[in-house]
Structure 1
Amino acid sequence: MIQYKTREEIERMRKAGRIVAACHREIGKRLKPGATTLEIDRFAEAYMVNCGAKPAQKGYKGYPYATCASACDVVCHGFPRDVPLREGEIVTIDMVVELDGWMADSAWTYAVGRVDREMVRLMNAAKTALYQGIAQAAAGNRLGDIGHAVQAVAKREQYGIVEAFIGHGIGRRIHEDPQVHHTGKAGTGRKLREGMVITIEPIFVTGRPHISIDADGWTARTLDGSWGAQFEHTVAVTSGGPIILT
């Protein structure tokens, strides 16, 4: 069942989203060659706590960290590691902030130092797809419009989409209805209505979009070793158009 949010509730989520966005900006300053994602995780958790919030992912279904840190061929749900990042790698940091019972979720892929042209192109394509999807998140449109917009970018830029991971509703819980797929046919699917709050979070890969899960039960990586990039925002659907909360 979809939990529609009032304007006041969306504003509460926006406050959580501001913490997410500010934390990501600080993380961007720290993700340099030699840094570790475990250090970034500890920083992010302390940042949230200092803001009066908490990391909603920590403890969720047993997940042990405040963030997911997915580098190179790890496309989602990677564990932060005490291993120095190397020049030329890319890493996605995904986090959910809970503030006064309301949540906001955002992932961002960062370049570690200088990366090659193909990684720049991959990241730009995934980010473009996110914003193309967001543009379709208006009351009266349908979920298929979002998926179609994302898929069109992947097709044009010739990247695979990891369909195993999708966007979702969010509010007092990390995952709510509806499911938001990153492929689809325009004009199909559930109608978007004012008060919905969803995440849009496409993962693009340079190779085939097939994945395996590591023995830890969380870390998802490509079967062919290709690298992936993901960008995610939490978005409110309103009669005046989509509002990015993160």
Structure 2
Amino acid sequence: MTIENEDQLDKLKAAGRLVARTLKAMGEALEPGMTTRELDQLGRAMLEAGGARSAPELTYDFPGATCISVGPDVAHGIPGDRVIQAGDLINIDVSAELDGFFGDTGASFAVPPVTKRVERLCRDGRRALWTGIRAVRPGADLNAPGREIEAFARRNGYSLVRNLASHGVGASLHEEPTEIATWVDRSDRRKITEGLVFTLEPFLSLGADWVDEVGDGWTLRPPGGEPTVQYEHTLVATRRGPLVMTLAE
């Protein structure tokens, strides 16, 4: 969607703040011995207390309030009886509808103790996202963030998953512009327009450039099981620069 007035912006901020606070609380609650279902129940309770509805449930009838993927799975994991272990790399994706507007955010969390290699991957996953965010401005190529993210990945020895992309968001969970690459896509001639609402969500990996569905209809995993992280924010492009909607504070 394209933001047209302050009321829309305020409602989008409210949705974004709620999913961000939910993600933060879930990340802080992560500990060995809990199940992914218990973690999802925490997320559901926070969203419902804030008056929101789970976007994946609402939009796709997803079997959970949030997506929780335990490595080597990287996206769309179904909450269940899986017990979280020390050393796990876990991705949590939280999206919700509040008062007709959608917020979408995600992050990867390493459950200590983990290797220095995985710690660095998580750190650089966050850096890759913010490298892309800084390239967002009206009039720029829609693929400008992807060019910056790929340059960052190459400089630091990472690959990017290329069959998972960013997307428009706001009035629905997934909308135009679709398939926003977080890598160089020379075929994409689209421009960022003022007020455009979209996500950025690079999947930075220690070698994977593709993910496959594992057979449950949802969960995605690199064929080689390479450690992979995702960090995601919802943004609005403005003349003053990108506004990040999914900050907890």
After TM superposition, the score normalised by the length of structure 2 is 0.93
Aligned to 1:214: 214
Letter in 2 for 1:233: H
Aligned to 2:51: 52
Question: Does the CA-based 8 Å contact 1:144-1:187 persist in structure 2?
Answer: no
Question: Does the CA-based 8 Å contact 1:33-1:84 persist in structure 2?
Answer: yes
Aligned to 1:155: 154
Distance 2:37 2:222 in 1: 22
Letter in 2 for 1:131: W
Aligned residues: 244
SS at match of 1:237: strand
Q: CA deviation at 1:211?
A: 2.0
Q: CA deviation at 1:61?
A: 2.5
Question: Does the CA-based 8 Å contact 1:33-1:113 persist in structure 2?
Answer: no
163-172 or 5-14, which moves further after superposition? 5-14
Question: Does the CA-based 8 Å contact 1:55-1:96 persist in structure 2?
Answer: yes
Question: Does the CA-based 8 Å contact 2:167-2:176 persist in structure 1?
Answer: yes
Matched, 1:226 2:226: yes
Distance 1:113 1:208 in 2: 23
Aligned to 2:192: 192
Q: How does 1:25-40 map to 2 (within 5 A)?
A: 25-40=24-39
Q: How does 1:71-150 map to 2 (within 5 A)?
A: 71-150=70-149
Q: CA deviation at 1:188?
A: 6.2
Question: Does the CA-based 8 Å contact 2:69-2:91 persist in structure 1?
Answer: yes
SS at match of 2:18: helix
Q: CA deviation at 1:178?
A: 0.9
Distance 1:22 1:237 in 2: 22
Matched, 1:174 2:173: yes
Aligned to 2:3: 5
Distance 1:76 1:104 in 2: 17
Q: How does 1:230-241 map to 2 (within 5 A)?
A: 230-241=230-241
How high is the sequence identity, in percent, across the aligned residues?
Answer: 33
Distance 1:8 1:91 in 2: 35
Q: CA deviation at 1:64?
A: 1.3
SS at match of 1:168: strand
Letter in 2 for 1:65: G
Distance 1:56 1:121 in 2: 31
Question: Does the CA-based 8 Å contact 2:87-2:112 persist in structure 1?
Answer: yes
- 1:99-145 Cα offsets, whole Å, 9 max, x none, are 10100000011111221101111111111110011111111211121
SS at match of 2:34: coil
Q: CA deviation at 1:167?
A: 0.6
SS at match of 1:198: strand
57-66 or 165-174, which moves further after superposition? 57-66
What is the Cα-based RMSD across aligned positions, in Å?
Answer: 1.5
- 1:154-183 Cα offsets, whole Å, 9 max, x none, are 111111111111110101110011131101
After TM superposition, the score normalised by the length of structure 1 is 0.95
Q: CA deviation at 1:187?
A: 11
SS at match of 1:133: helix
